[in-house]
Amino acid sequence: MSLVLIAALPFLGALIPGLMIRAGRNACAMMTGSFTALALILLLIEAPAVLRGEVIRTRISWMPGLGLDANFFLDGLGLLFAGMILGIGLLVILYARFYLSKSDPMGQFYTYLMLFQGAMVGIVLSDNILLLLIFWELTSLSSFLLIGYWKHLPEGRQGARMALAVTGGGGLALIGGMLLLGGIAGSYDMTVILQSRDVIQASDWYLPALLLILLGCFTKSAQFPFHFWLPHAMAAPTPVSAYLHSATMVKAGLFLMARLWPVLSGTDAWFYIVATTGLVTMVLGAVIALFKDDLKALLAFSTVSHLGLITMLLGFGTREAAVVAVFHIINHATFKAALFMSAGIVDHEAHTRDIKRLGGLRHLMPVTFTIATIAGLSMAGIPFLNGFLSKEMMLEEAAHTGILVGALATLGALFSVAYSFRFIAHTFLGPKRHDYPGHPHDPGFGLWAAPAFLAVLVVAIGIFPAAMVGPLVAATSGAVIQGELPYYSLRIWHGVTPALFMSIIAVAGGWLLLRRHAPLDARWLAARRPEAKAIFDRGMDGAVGMSRRLTDALHDGALSRYLMIFSAAAVVIGTVSFLGGTHGAGTHQMLPVTPMALIGLLLVVTASLGVVLFHRNRLLSLVIISVNGLVISLGFVYLSAPDLALTQLTVEVVTIILLLLALNFLPKETPRESSSARKWRDGIVAGLGGLGVAALAYAIMARDLAFDSISQFHLDQSYPGGGGTNVVNVILVDFRGYDTFGEIVVLGIAALAIFALTEALLHGPASKRLLSWVPDQKRAGDRHPLMLVVATRVMMPMAVMVGVYIFLRGHNEPGGGFIAGLVVSIALLMQYMASGFAWAQERQRADYHAIIASGVLIAAATGVGAWLAGRPFLTSAFGYFRIPPMDYFELATAMAFDVGVFLAVVGSVMLALASLSRLARRAGETVNETPMDIDPSRAPAPVSPETEEAR
């Protein structure tokens, strides 16, 4: 379970900053960092076993039917990436504490950072590709929040949108590719997929899966032609840039390519696509970086170049190149994080990142100069620093691949040396200036401690590579290769090799390029070249414009058009499927049609036609609809479904009464909206749709099902599993109890929404229209007939008794909490209708909001009780008890759940009624008639809006 805790700790840490920021910035940073530190400690505890070649696994069954399980595993590759994410994340938390100004909401920043950290840790530890995809998309969302953290900057908002659009689009492609991969392997577990190389590469779906997966990886890791989003993400605060470029986000694509290397590499498609893309990205990124004047932009394009370098190595498909790729991932993380933090220090102190406004800072910022120089020389590949080791090994692999590849790799390395030298020389060397925007000086220890630690690692790995990272490189390379490691040597001197001469050419050429930078920069600025951002903006504008035109054409707000499109599409799809399939005669004979069934059928058809013909008269349509509901209730009785009949009947009564109250405030007729042609069109589509549904129902009922119905399981397990003989009720409170729980929550939310709308109408701007509302029809003189008043009051206790009876018998006979709640609601509704809202409200003692809340909480408590008993949520328990002198009787926890359903139904219905009645009462105060819900003998005197507001 330690892996689950490692993955969960960053998410738990995301809950802390918003609270701890009230205790001060130091406390906030310390508490946030403690969660990352604890996760890192737990990871280091598992490290010795992983370095010995073991794989740590944790498996949690979640949704096995869908193949979605919370499975995690830790091998060498996961250890490397999780260590980078947590280790550099801890340094970034420290760095951000001193980098962010007092005006920056630090709690919000740390919350976003921890969410981002948790998503990345989830990616590298996931053993289930569906779970991995969830974390993958979460990185896109959390990085969007981090990149756009400075919301007041337009470039921040634009950079965040661009990153989300590119990586999110690639994520959609990745979802398709990973699902194909899981389908080929027959499992969504990564460990199973990694053992299915032959099956995957022999499949016809290998190439589509490869292309989709690589599209997701390339967009995430800013490979050409998707490289443009990464430099624009530099609008984020420097701690974000340092974290994003060194250990997270862009490294996610590299991680996934390395993780799937054993099953996807080794083919021509992999080599040509991955190696070519990486090589082009490496050279292009290096060339652009040389001519960037913004420190972070230069480093951003250098990241693009180095990501291309690693991608190229993975694309070679050889075991030796895979080892080099792993080694350079480690080296790049150390020197790139240090460089970004150094650039942030310069910006923080000099108040500019423009190289042309800098220079001579070594005199004013010696500590920062030392750190940046070590990291910059490592990025250039100068001996005795870690970047030199992996660069030499990269050039060696490129030379073995081919002359053209070696030449282009040398060219990329040459430009890498040039921009690295420029970063150091144009920022720190030269004479001291007197026109800095700020007053640069070395900051306090808190700001340079993190990059200094990384600079020490750069030197230590460069001098003692085998001792510092040898076991980690071996374990990680073994996880990538999934086989025997090739021979390789982590040492400074490899003898006189082609890579040595290529490296000399790169260093010498880079120095010459730096010397000629000014004229080359002028030519670069004068040259006409395509701008990726401009192309992206035009593409996005075109896509948005086309979407808007399509939306305006289809989504014009007319429900009839939407229904027509859906119905026509269903008819077309159904027709195509029917014509393209095989058909056989049904095996079931039709049952005889009894006179009663025929009468019911004719009533339903007639009522349905009546709704169509008289739909403009809303009151008449409502009455006809109620006829349909009543006939359907009788149909349930005819088909031996008393539970459904009771439910349908009670729901029909409640909804019709509430709709009639709502109709009181609406026009009683709707205007004519459809032309004759439109009516014919809609009629034909509706007729075809109805015939299609009827034909489908007939085809199903006339044939034996090709699968076993679950109904037999419910019949067999109703009593043994749920303790009840009423299968319908047992399904609602046990087998499908979670569905019922969701339904009562939705019902309560609907009632609360009606209440909120009522409050807005009573006290908002719309209250003036309500006060000036005049009924559009004459009201009856006798609103509360005496016979109705007497009858409802006499029936009230009997109705409540019936409701209690239906409730108690529900587990074994037709009934239950839902029906009982509706029966009691009808009894209460009748009191309001007969005696008026004021009379009934004076005698009402319970708050309807509290009734709804009590029902939901009681139902939830029943489910939690099942958890405490070690059973699934809302699993029922039952037993038999005897209280003398009574005989044995059954008690089930489902009764408590049914109580919750009962209360939620009663509270929701009555709150909706009370809300509509309050509208009628307010409206009735402005007319010369007694409002329909006020007893004439108790009608209050008209009051002004001010008095009502005070009330």
Q: Which pLDDT band, with edges at 50, 70 and 90, does 770 fall under?
A: low
pLDDT at position 774 over 70: no
pLDDT at position 283 over 60: yes
What's the mean pLDDT in 697-711?
A: 80
What integer pLDDT is reported at residue 22 of this predicted model? 86
pLDDT at position 922 over 70: no
Chosen domain end from 515, 534, 566:
515
What's the mean pLDDT in 515-519?
A: 89
What's the mean pLDDT in 926-940?
A: 40
In a domain, 198, yes or no: no
What integer pLDDT is reported at residue 670 of this predicted model? 78
Q: Which pLDDT band, with edges at 50, 70 and 90, does 934 fall under?
A: very low
**pLDDT 10s digits, 588-600:** 888 888 888 888 8
774, 903: one domain: yes
What's the mean pLDDT in 916-941?
A: 50
In a domain, 875, yes or no: yes
What integer pLDDT is reported at residue 782 of this predicted model? 64
427, 297: one domain: yes
731, 703: one domain: no
Q: In the chain, count H helices and then E strands.
A: 42, 4
Tell me the range of 273-287, 509-523, 608-622, 752-766 where mean pLDDT is highest: 273-287
Q: Which pLDDT band, with edges at 50, 70 and 90, does 942 fall under?
A: very low
pLDDT at position 762 over 90: no
Least confident of 297-301, 332-336, 845-849, 907-911: 845-849
392, 320: one domain: yes
pLDDT at position 439 over 80: yes
In a domain, 77, yes or no: no
Chosen domain end from 496, 515, 534:
515
468, 608: one domain: no
More confident residue, 115 or 759: 115
Least confident of 116-130, 167-181, 823-837: 823-837
> What separation in angstroms does the CA of 195 have from each of 132, 182, 261, 479, 666?
18, 12, 12, 12, 66
Q: Which value, in Å, is the radius of gyration of the alpha carbons in the chain?
A: 36
731, 647: one domain: no
In a domain, 335, yes or no: yes
pLDDT at position 787 over 60: yes
**What are the DSSP calls for 96-110, one per residue?**
HHHHS-TTS-HHHHH
823 contacts: CB under 8 Å, gap ≥ 6 = 650, 799, 802, 803, 806
Q: Which pLDDT band, with edges at 50, 70 and 90, does 933 fall under?
A: very low
650 contacts: CB under 8 Å, gap ≥ 6 = 819, 822, 823, 825, 826
What's the mean pLDDT in 538-548?
A: 87
In a domain, 133, yes or no: no
DSSP code, position 385 = S
pLDDT at position 409 over 90: yes
700, 772: one domain: no
**What are the DSSP calls for 183-235, one per residue?**
HHHT--BHHHHTT-HHHHHHSTTHHHHHHHHHHHHHHHTT-TTSTTHHHHGGG
Q: Give the total number of structural domains in the chain.
A: 3
What's the mean pLDDT in 181-197?
A: 91
CB-neighbour burial class of residue 838 (10 A; exposed 0-12, middle 13-18, buried 19+)? middle
What integer pLDDT is reported at residue 145 of this predicted model? 92
816, 862: one domain: yes
Q: Which pLDDT band, with edges at 50, 70 and 90, does 924 fall under?
A: low
- Cα 210 to chain centroid distance, Å, stands at 25
Q: Which pLDDT band, with edges at 50, 70 and 90, does 323 fall under?
A: very high
In a domain, 165, yes or no: no
What's the mean pLDDT in 14-30?
A: 90
Q: Which two tokens stand for residue 620?
A: 């008449």
Give the up-direction half-sphere exposure of residue 649: CA atoms within 13 A in the CB hemisphere: 16
Cα 259 from Cα 217, distance rounded (Å): 11
What integer pLDDT is reported at residue 771 of this predicted model? 64
Give the up-direction half-sphere exposure of residue 880: CA atoms within 13 A in the CB hemisphere: 6
492, 426: one domain: yes
More confident residue, 664 or 224: 224
Residue recorded with tokens 């709502």: 662
230 contacts: CB under 8 Å, gap ≥ 6 = 163, 222, 245, 250, 300, 303, 304
**pLDDT 10s digits, 453-499:** 999 999 999 999 998 999 999 999 999 998 888 988 888 877 788 88
In a domain, 113, yes or no: no
pLDDT at position 939 over 60: no
Q: Are strands 72-74 and 888-892 parallel, antiparallel or unpaired?
A: unpaired
In a domain, 185, yes or no: no
What integer pLDDT is reported at residue 912 of this predicted model? 87
408, 450: one domain: yes
Q: Which domain holds residue 902?
A: 726-951
**pLDDT 10s digits, 705-743:** 777 778 888 888 888 888 888 888 888 888 888 899 999
Cα 353 from Cα 365, distance rounded (Å): 15
Cα 227 from Cα 504, distance rounded (Å): 29
Q: Which of 82, 170, 209 is nearest to 479 (CA)?
A: 82
Taking each helix axis from N to C end, the angle separating 676-701 and 559-579, rounded to the nearest 10 degrees, works out to: 40
**pLDDT 10s digits, 190-217:** 999 999 999 999 999 999 999 999 999 9
* Cβ–Cβ under 8 Å, residues 305 and 281: yes
pLDDT at position 27 over 60: yes
pLDDT at position 579 over 90: no
Least confident of 170-174, 812-816, 831-835: 831-835
Mean of the per-residue pLDDT values of the chain: 87
What integer pLDDT is reported at residue 935 of this predicted model? 39
703, 736: one domain: no
What integer pLDDT is reported at residue 700 of this predicted model? 84
What integer pLDDT is reported at residue 1 of this predicted model? 67
pLDDT at position 951 over 50: no
* Cβ–Cβ under 8 Å, residues 351 and 307: no
Q: Which of 691, 698, 711, 727 is nearest to 571 (CA)?
A: 691
> What separation in angstroms does the CA of 753 have from each of 383, 698, 749, 856?
69, 40, 6, 16
3-class secondary structure per residue, 318-347: CHHHHHHHHHHHHHHHHHHHHHHHHHHHHH
What integer pLDDT is reported at residue 340 of this predicted model? 93
User: Which SS3 state, helix, strand or coil, does residue 939 take?
Assistant: coil
What's the mean pLDDT in 22-43?
A: 92
273, 300, 309, 118: CA torsion to nearest 10: -80
3-class secondary structure per residue, 602-642: HHHHHHHHHHHHCCCEHHHHHHHHHHHHHHHHHHHHHCCCH
* Cβ–Cβ under 8 Å, residues 241 and 296: yes
Q: Which pLDDT band, with edges at 50, 70 and 90, does 943 fall under?
A: very low
Q: List, in sequence order, the alpha helices (H) in 260-318.
A: 261-264, 268-270, 276-290, 295-316
698, 737: one domain: no
> What separation in angstroms does the CA of 671 have from each of 160, 555, 618, 680, 769?
47, 21, 11, 18, 21
**What are the DSSP calls for 150-194, one per residue?**
STT-HHHHHHHHHHHHHHHHHHHHHHHHHHHHHHHHT--BHHHHT
Q: Is-above-0.75 flag for pTM?
A: no
What's the mean pLDDT in 598-606?
A: 89
What integer pLDDT is reported at residue 772 of this predicted model? 66
What integer pLDDT is reported at residue 777 of this predicted model? 66
Cα 72 from Cα 122, distance rounded (Å): 8
pLDDT at position 936 over 70: no
pLDDT at position 946 over 90: no
